[in-house]
């Protein structure tokens, strides 16, 4: 994952971003970061799961022999993200 992708996910998790750097969403020293970190971690996991599923999609498209289960793998990876 690129730095730009991580910064975009940090924005989505409501961190403060300025000049390509990510900062705490608050200037308070005792500000609770756990909800923001959880949100960020979940967004990273979603992105990485989709990247893995796309690899499986590509394999499925390139390999059409009988017994290639790449499409089932892609479906399973995507389904994993829908179960909470």
Domain boundaries, the chain: 3-82
The per-residue pLDDT for range 32-65, each reduced to its tens digit, is 888 889 999 999 999 999 999 999 888 877 776 6
- C-alpha 19/C-alpha 13 separation (Å) is 17
pTM of the predicted model, to two decimals? 0.74
């Amino acid at each position: 994952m690129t730095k730009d992708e991580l910064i975009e996910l940090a924005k989505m998790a409501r961190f403060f971003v300025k000049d390509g750097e990510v900062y705490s969403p608050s200037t308070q020293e005792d500000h609770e970061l756990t909800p923001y970190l959880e949100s960020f971690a979940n967004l990273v996991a979603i992105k990485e799961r989709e990247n893995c599923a796309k690899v499986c999609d590509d394999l499925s498209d390139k390999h059409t022999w009988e017994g290639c289960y790449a499409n089932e793998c892609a479906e399973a990876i995507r389904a994993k993200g829908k179960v909470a």
